[in-house]
Amino acid sequence: VQLQASGGGLVQAGGSLRLSCAGSGRTFSNYVVGWFRQALGKEREVVAFISDSGRLTSYADSVKGRFTISRDNGKNTVYLQMNSLKPEDAAVYYCAAGTNWNSHYRYYDYWGQGTLVTVSS
């Protein structure tokens, strides 16, 4: 499956962005999809992930209550709505697809190219 992430940009602290991850190729609805981020000099970390059906979601503690992951399998797209953004949310955000319900990036086989989120204070 091929993934294309988009929607990043520059936003002020407290603002919002919505990231999109468009899938193509293999049946997108068969995959768990996760959003990960990597800030400069830091390890890649999970932000949120969603089950193939969309019924299950999981979030990193740092984004709970502020970010929402969702998917529209009819459009082969997973979204990450990010509200109340903080400077520490700034990173390159990646979407990834895999077949395991797991938060660690090693379990995801397919990756998008990343989209940069910058948050000014």
**pLDDT of residue 26 exceeding 80:** no
Q: Strand 67-72 to strand 91-98: parallel, antiparallel, or no bridges (unpaired)?
A: unpaired
**pLDDT of residue 42 exceeding 80:** yes
pLDDT by residue (tens digit) across 68-108? 999 999 999 999 999 999 999 999 999 999 999 999 999 99
- Lowest pLDDT segment from 22-31, 43-52, 70-79, 92-101: 22-31
Strands (E), 1-121: 2-6, 9-12, 17-24, 32-38, 45-50, 57-59, 67-72, 77-82, 91-98, 110-111, 115-120
Strands (E), 51-90: 57-59, 67-72, 77-82
Q: What is the mean pLDDT of residues 12-35?
A: 94
